Structure 1
Amino acid sequence: MPHTAPIPRLEIRNLTRSFEGNQVVKGVSLKVLPGQVTCLLGPSGCGKSTTLRMIAGVEMQDSGEIYVDGNLICDTVFRVPPERRSIGLMFQDFALFPHLSVAENVAFGLKGDKDSKRARVEELLNKVAMGRYIDSYPHELSGGEQQRVALARALAPKPRIMLMDEPFSGLDNRLRDDIRDETLAVLKDEDTAVLLVTHEPEEAMRMADEIALMRDGLIVQQGAPYNIYNNPVDKRAVAFFSDINVLRGTVKGALTETPFGQFLAPGVPDGAEVDIVIRPQHIRIDFDRGGRGPNPTPTDGTPARGIVERARFMGKESLVEFRMDYDGSILRANVPGVFLPKPGKPLWLMLRRDRCFVYPATV
């Protein structure tokens, strides 16, 4: 039998939206399968929340189509109203009704008789570990507890899709990780397709099955977190996930000469400049041996000497800044654990070749 691709729970095709002549969403397309978590990741103002609002139906697209389970729910002519889209919403503001109890908040959007509604409310509150607060009121709950109730309320009508806009940003860091993990477990259990908007790479890496990296109204790269992190599309994509070091070089015969040896730059014309990008954790440090460093290796290339400017312990790792002999530039290296060489100490740096990215130079 021929293998047929599963029908996406949510599919958007070429969504666009402009405000006062400024196009903020520029032809965004993506698919989310049942039980899958996709993160729209990008800096503030890149069009993530506007995309979410169009899917929810609270914002109307200028062009493009939205499908749920293969059925068109909205284009520029036909439009299913928001309340009939089977889409749940969770935002940064939990927006619980202060005058309603926890049970009444969760039951707010439910249809059916009193007993069936109560059973669904109890089931969900137990899932989010809030069963004992069923008769409490929002003002009696902490931020994390309110977040759990908001999740239960959003899930109560059994939406096929959950849209989440920075839902954890109001929580402190330690609590945030726990709530994120619990939320993910409940959503997976309900087989809900999730589209989560965030500007935090760590949150996207922690939660997503797939990341859609958004910039200036466009999705610039899409894929599994591992692939996005390890095969970034350009220098800005590398920099969005971590600190970076950049070496600039000029191409000659598809090669770029640097103090760390030659780098391949296939397809780049002679005389053009390239940026060689490496994350601080992929720089290897070795000791100075009377003015000499370690021998070059195929894995780490040629060593170059730098003088320690400063070193700081960051908790799990140490950050060491070097002023390089060859041009006076600063390179930063992260070292696991405690490594605090004194300022002025000469050390040799090597770049892990398999962790260097070469791109045409940009400003």
Structure 2
Amino acid sequence: MSIALKNVAKTYPDGTKALQPTDLEFRAGEIVSLLGPSGCGKTTLLRLIAGLERPDAGSSIHFDTDDVTRLPVEHRRVGMVFQSYALFPNMSVLANISYGLKMQKLPAAEIRARADEVIKMCQLEPYANRSIDALSGGQRQRVALARAFAPRPRILLLDEPLSALDAALRDKLRDELAALLRRFKITAIFVTHDQDEALAIADRVAVMRNGRVMQIGTPEDLYHNPRVPFVAEFVGHAVELCGTVEDGKLNTPGGRLALPRTDADYQVYVRADDVKLSQDGSLRGTVESVTFLGTHYRVGVSGVVQGLLYANHTGTTPPKPGDTVRMEIAPEALLLLPRERHAA
């Protein structure tokens, strides 16, 4: 089922504009993430699609050709997993998952088959007959996911669905979640502030800020071709290189850096992956921090940007705090973005 939003906005009675007028389209079977910091409007947008909030006058929400703008939540046929688990504490895990299927009046054999399928996928087999009160927070979140999947809704809305899980299980369930959504061809929209989660699961990601969608695109497009500084900073943690441009080079406190072009007024950004430690590098700074991350060292260097410029160093012998290092950045690795005037 496709979803089309036209001029959808939300203003609360106190005048707070939680969502600015927004146009978005979600294709049938597509997985889209709403990504952004707390308070950016992503949960408000999700709740408007669900029917849990009423949009401002002039808004339009369509599921395929059906206008659901004013349709109550119970008639929208969406599956929902929000931060509050909303589970039945007096029921077992199996009973919680089966509840929605019973409401659909499905045959008992099909109810059990679907419940068993999602229990296995969410690694809940040892807990199937336990009460909800006997589960940890992470286990309860998995039950909420399983209960939403079991009826196989045509649209699935998820608000931080993996936030309560430990890191190892979150990574595993993240991959299984993406596989299940694609297997059932469910149109899914999920809210997260975790860019790794968004990039790993979604077909497209909408990056939001202050009630606006700043950019929507594939994970690869957002990472390699951000259109505005905020997206570059939020997706991939790009750092701005400040300085003056002269003779095709950027003069920074740490040295001169060749630019790919100088034909416009732009801001220059770079990601840690593209900063290389090199004895012949044109930039120079002082190592302030060294963090081992398993596959590489994250080296924080002062003296080049206002804060720290980070480099991902894959060598076996990292520099030490206090060392002076040289760095190089290939011109084609720089992100040249329109200068941000006054972000709303």
**1:248/1:361 contact within 8 Å kept:** no
Q: Separation in 1 of the partners of 2:116 and 2:250?
A: 66
SS of aligned partner of 2:97:
helix
Residues 51 and 350 from structure 1, CA distance in 2 versus in 1: closer, same or farther, beyond 3 angstroms?
same
Residues 192 and 309 from structure 1, CA distance in 2 versus in 1: closer, same or farther, beyond 3 angstroms?
closer
Match of 2:212 in 1: 218
Match of 2:269 in 1: 277
Q: Separation in 1 of the partners of 2:125 and 2:195?
A: 32
Residues 264 and 113 from structure 1, CA distance in 2 versus in 1: closer, same or farther, beyond 3 angstroms?
closer
Q: Separation in 2 of the partners of 1:60 and 1:328?
A: 44
Amino acid at match of 1:27: P
SS of aligned partner of 1:61:
coil
* Deviation, structure 1 residue 314: 3.4
Q: Separation in 2 of the partners of 1:151 and 1:344?
A: 48
Residue 194 in 1 paired to residue 172 in 2? Answer: no
Q: Deviations over 1:228-264 (max 9, x none)?
A: 01111122211112333322234579x4543113452
In the TM superposition, structure 1's runs of 4+ consecutive aligned residues that sit over 4 Å from their partners are 326-330, 360-363
Moved more, 27-36 or 57-66: 27-36
Q: Separation in 2 of the partners of 1:49 and 1:234?
A: 22
SS of aligned partner of 1:182:
helix
> Where do 1:237-276 residues align within 5 Å?
237-251=231-245, 255-258=248-251, 259-268=256-265, 274-276=266-268
Amino acid at match of 2:258: G
Q: Separation in 2 of the partners of 1:232 and 1:93?
A: 33
Identity %: 34
Residues 343 and 164 from structure 1, CA distance in 2 versus in 1: closer, same or farther, beyond 3 angstroms?
closer
**1:284/1:351 contact within 8 Å kept:** yes
Q: Deviations over 1:27-49 (max 9, x none)?
A: 22222223321000011101111
Aligned residues: 332
**1:308/1:321 contact within 8 Å kept:** yes
| Structure 1 segments unaligned to the other structure (5+ residues) | 1-7, 269-273, 288-292, 295-302
**1:111/1:117 contact within 8 Å kept:** no
Match of 2:327 in 1: 349
> Where do 1:1-363 residues align within 5 Å?
9-19=2-12, 20-62=14-56, 63-74=58-69, 79-109=70-100, 110-112=103-105, 115=108, 116-130=110-124, 133-251=127-245, 255-258=248-251, 259-268=256-265, 274-287=266-279, 293=280, 303-324=282-303, 330-362=308-340
* Deviation, structure 1 residue 82: 0.9
SS of aligned partner of 1:108:
helix
Moved more, 101-110 or 46-55: 101-110
Q: Separation in 1 of the partners of 2:305 and 2:32?
A: 43
SS of aligned partner of 1:53:
helix
| Structure 2 segments unaligned to the other structure (5+ residues) | none
**2:242/2:305 contact within 8 Å kept:** no
Residues 245 and 219 from structure 1, CA distance in 2 versus in 1: closer, same or farther, beyond 3 angstroms?
closer
Q: Deviations over 1:277-318 (max 9, x none)?
A: 11122112212xxxxx36xxxxxxxx2333444434333322
**2:237/2:271 contact within 8 Å kept:** yes
Moved more, 239-248 or 32-41: 239-248
Q: Separation in 2 of the partners of 1:131 and 1:329?
A: 49
**2:205/2:216 contact within 8 Å kept:** yes
SS of aligned partner of 2:213:
strand
Residues 13 and 286 from structure 1, CA distance in 2 versus in 1: closer, same or farther, beyond 3 angstroms?
same
